[in-house]
Structure 1
Amino acid sequence: MTAPLPDLLIEPVVRAALAEDLGRAGDVTAMACIDADAKLSVAFAARKPGVAAGIACARLALAALDPEARFETLVADGAPLAAGTVLARAQGNARAILSAERTGLNLLGRLCGVATLTRAYVDAVDGTAARIVDTRKTTPGLRHLEKYAVRCGGGVNHRFGLDDAILIKDNHIAACGGVAEAVRRARAFAGHLMKVEVEVDGLDQLEDALRHGPDVVMLDNFSLDDLRAAVAAAKGRAVLEASGGVNLQTVRAIAETGVDVISVGALTHSAAALDIGLDAV
């Protein structure tokens, strides 16, 4: 199972989401309808099959409003979920539980959705050497959580931000005068721990790039035939990443060309939230 994120990284997101929902006056419906000392027991259950991710978000949302609440996690992040699977149970102040409900469910459902879609892609390339990786096409403010959910689904993280790897794309190449010059400059700039990746859109650019020793070459919108030709031409001199035109119908054929990784923006920008419900028990 995926190593869990520290609460320290999750709490700021949860608290910001709670503050957005509670607004200036708090949950006026709960205050109007429910006694201040009323207690409630609830269960978080999957209403559709999927993959668990982000259960801590629900726990921390409740803890922020009722530090004395009891929260029992019943499945681990990364575990497959059948429809009806209970992910967690909680007991505590009724007002707090109902006020935290939507924030907890929004984050939990979103992350389970990312993990579920990722698992579908990972399963689609099973038996090949290709790994499924994410991109920076994430929801602002949720990147570390969504990339965690990708790991829960069996995927691998690409770079987290602009500062942890050099990725030379088409506009960088245009600005500095060509693929070879861009890679040469990047290699001269990079420290011994920093990877250099360059995006190419044709086999001619691939050869220009490889002469200057990039760690990774992104093959942008290559046909299947050109992907196979790129694998043969590279001869293991760089990690090859296929990007563009990837969906659940095409990903298997892309993987079978022999590329090392396949980047899929849809894992985070197009994943539908998994339907998770909270019910009194």
Structure 2
Amino acid sequence: MIDWFLNAGPITQAFLAGVFTWLCTVAGSAVVFLVKEIDAKFLAAMQGSAAGVMTAATFWSLLSPAISYAESSDSSLPAWFPAAVGFLAGGAFLRLLDVVVPHIHLAEDHGDTDVKKTKLSRTTMLWLAVTIHNFPEGMAVGVAFAAANLGVEGASITSAIALAIGIGLQNIPEGSALSLPLHAEGRSKSRAFNLGQSSALIEIVGAVLGAAAVIVVRPILPYALAFAAGAMIFVVVEELIPESQSGDNTDVATMGFMVGFVIMMILDVALG
């Protein structure tokens, strides 16, 4: 089974990795059937850890291979150019989604949407906030597998697997952080679970699209890697860090970030 996966094409690998990250969200969302609410200190630690995982993955799994690929190419552009352009474009893309898609965040109102001017329910907008920020995570996984299959220096199947594992691990608390508040607001456990797990289905789509785009148009690879990195950092700074620091457990959240960063660094370096 492992050999089959390693020899499968990048799109198949990306699809299966996307399914794995979704299943982790399923597991996290299923917590709603076991407990009534999540401990605030635990949630802060998990959100901080998720931010650390994504920050580390941004460099080791995405930006570093992007720069290495640019350095080895015959392009007349400086090696930092694709990484810089792609990184900023990824952040700008997520900001555009924030403006276009009506949504609200779990912990704080970031002012992206005027709730008085939309007919969407609070539940729908909470779901949309998580969903639109899950897309770059899936895309990052897909691009990482494509880069590994294309033989990019600094990219490997094992590092792509490490990225998928890291994102999957942070999806577990993310799933519970959505399903439990929805249940607390009056949604049934089944409804809260379905909304929680479905928010990560977009990761499968993002993974397949990311891998396919790079395979079809190889020259965009360094830009695509950096684009995914920029989008992920946008999510970290705009959502994960503020929400982890919004309560009375800021030190716990900060230590969670440190631990998450180290875990992802070890996964990527050891497996890569």
Question: Which range, TM-score by smaller chain?
Answer: under 0.3
Considering fraction of residues, name the structure with more strand. 1
Considering fraction of residues, name the structure with more helix. 2
- Structure 1 or 2, whichever has the larger Rg, is 1
Q: What's the TM-score once normalised by structure 2's chain length?
A: 0.26
